[in-house]
Structure 1
């Protein structure tokens, strides 16, 4: 079964799992809601948003449309959501670390996580995988090739989870991994397909984007950026990167949907309640997470921000360390720990 087929089945299950309850909420939308996914179809953000959208649609009693608008490491679609009328009908979706740090890298000026009401659903983990025909059988072998040879790595760009994963690996490696050459695509799915087809040798995109290709024998997973092994049905356990890099810093990579501030308060009050009533215990979302190698972790509001701040701080401050920051994180309320 293809990845998109699995997603369609899970999304259909979500639609039947949640009863129509629009009358229970103070906000009753009278037209479709658009969720802008700032990445291409089939990637991690797109996958999970298409599972969550039917849950929201059924609860709110209106159509929820997922709109793919990729470009510039997710900043093109994100800015489109910020520029849209603040009436509650245009949302966006992403990894929270992206929305919180676009200003740090200069991709979107004068923005921070305070521009959104936050609704998280899963945490994702990047995988280091190679094309099935690549000669690298272990993560140390791949590191050696990155240090002493030339290796192409497919990601969705420097600001994507895959791009940040590769940068973190380079930063933590004992030697210079100058041989790792990043090739960027419009989303995680195209980057993974490139690795599976042999267009590039490696990908560091998220597990949810890779599991189908690994099950099909097109990719071979060498390490997961976690401190515990990744265990997903149909795939051999993937060793944690801390087995090879004990000091590697791991922070859970939370994903969600975000509603720009400025809409009527009843919008946020309603979505808060919908999240509590229909997403926090969604069987469809749990099934998606289990099948694809994600962590089921819904939350919203201040609790969501508190949960996600470690990855926000980690990614923002890593930009400073790597010389990629054009705005100091402190200017958008992120304090980096003293070295």
Structure 2
């Protein structure tokens, strides 16, 4: 069977979910103009992908256009700040990994913000994969670790606060080594970082599986390990071994992705979105298909259930910032207690 490209898959899903505009949605909030979702990363990355799958579902439910706007920069903090600065009328949202929104203030990228500034709507959970260019001499994760100890291994990520940047930091922390031979090269999003690895511009990447899936299926990346406690299968490629095969004590926690609506909008906005998420996203075949095709976990939730599901990764990332000396604000000031 020919391999279906990620772009084609998402386009097909979008066609299936084409909205009927200017209709009465039947919900308490009746938006009368387009809704903007700011994705604070470049097109093609993990946040962008799943947001473009969910947006047509929301369009069909609400009866207005839902526009995905890419505004990358500063590890996602520029676009996130733009969403927070917008008028709180319910028409400007943002999308991201929840660990990012919860830790921007801790690292000083944003001021006076926390996850409590949003109503939360999650769709999938993602895990990072460590991959190298197929021309790389590194055949196994152990080989790469040795190269990171003594060689010159450039690692492409979307920045220190991206999933890839946090994954690289987690590897250093989990294995208890600084790995002086590893140099992080940052890009405006996960997709450019993955493309740079596939082209040989950098040696490796630690971005998410969903961002690498197409290149792995096409044989342009060699996946060495997944930061999970179970193997990952992407299409008909060989299973990717879990990082716990190399270190049984390595702490893993999936990162949850979704849409975040800043607080301060009329209550009917959140009441409507709660119902839309329950009616159209919780059992969405489009989101389920995207997840199963790209190495993600189908995990929709909203409200308190979403926060409860995501708190392990929020706590883990926030407290890791302290351990790594990256925190300029103590997590306790944001209501996060480190173990």
Name the TM-score, length of structure 2 as normaliser: 0.97
Residue number in structure 2 paired with 1:248: 250
**Counterparts of 2:214 and 2:207 in 1: how far apart (Å)?**
13
Residue number in structure 2 paired with 1:104: 106
Q: 2:62 aligned to 53, 60, 63, which one?
A: 60
Cα distance change of structure 1 residues 79 and 19 upon mapping to structure 2, 3 Å threshold: closer
Question: Is 2:17 the counterpart of 1:14?
Answer: yes
Residue number in structure 2 paired with 1:155: 157
Shift of 1:13: 2.5
> Is residue 21–residue 64 contact of structure 2 (8 Å, CA) maintained in 1?
no
Task: Please say which of residues 5-14 and 151-160 is displaced more in the overlay.
Answer: 5-14
Residue number in structure 2 paired with 1:288: 290
Superposed CA deviations along residues 144-166 of structure 1, whole A, max 9, x for unmatched, are 01001110000000000000000
Question: Is 2:7 the counterpart of 1:4?
Answer: yes
Residue number in structure 2 paired with 1:212: 214
**Counterparts of 1:80 and 1:19 in 2: how far apart (Å)?**
27
SS where residue 122 of structure 2 aligns?
Answer: strand
> Is residue 124–residue 298 contact of structure 2 (8 Å, CA) maintained in 1?
yes
Residue number in structure 2 paired with 1:223: 225
Residue number in structure 2 paired with 1:269: 271
Task: Please say which of residues 234-243 and 151-160 is displaced more in the overlay.
Answer: 234-243
**Counterparts of 1:204 and 1:264 in 2: how far apart (Å)?**
40
Shift of 1:10: 2.1
SS where residue 108 of structure 2 aligns?
Answer: coil
Residue number in structure 1 paired with 2:325: 323
Residue number in structure 2 paired with 1:304: 306
> Is residue 22–residue 64 contact of structure 2 (8 Å, CA) maintained in 1?
no
**Counterparts of 1:144 and 1:175 in 2: how far apart (Å)?**
11
**Counterparts of 2:125 and 2:276 in 1: how far apart (Å)?**
20
SS where residue 257 of structure 2 aligns?
Answer: strand
Name the TM-score, length of structure 1 as normaliser: 0.97
SS where residue 330 of structure 1 aligns?
Answer: helix
SS where residue 18 of structure 2 aligns?
Answer: helix
**Counterparts of 1:143 and 1:22 in 2: how far apart (Å)?**
57
Cα distance change of structure 1 residues 135 and 20 upon mapping to structure 2, 3 Å threshold: farther
Shift of 1:187: 0.1
Shift of 1:233: 1.6
Shift of 1:245: 1.2
SS where residue 42 of structure 1 aligns?
Answer: coil
Which residues of structure 1 form unaligned runs of 5+?
A: none
Shift of 1:6: 2.0
> Is residue 157–residue 206 contact of structure 2 (8 Å, CA) maintained in 1?
yes
The alignment's C-alpha RMSD in Å is 1.4
**Counterparts of 2:300 and 2:24 in 1: how far apart (Å)?**
21
SS where residue 192 of structure 2 aligns?
Answer: helix
Cα distance change of structure 1 residues 19 and 281 upon mapping to structure 2, 3 Å threshold: farther
Shift of 1:22: 4.4
Q: How does 1:37-52 map to 2 (within 5 A)?
A: 37-52=39-54
Which residues of structure 2 form unaligned runs of 5+?
A: none
Cα distance change of structure 1 residues 125 and 20 upon mapping to structure 2, 3 Å threshold: farther
**Counterparts of 1:13 and 1:223 in 2: how far apart (Å)?**
34
**Counterparts of 1:177 and 1:150 in 2: how far apart (Å)?**
10
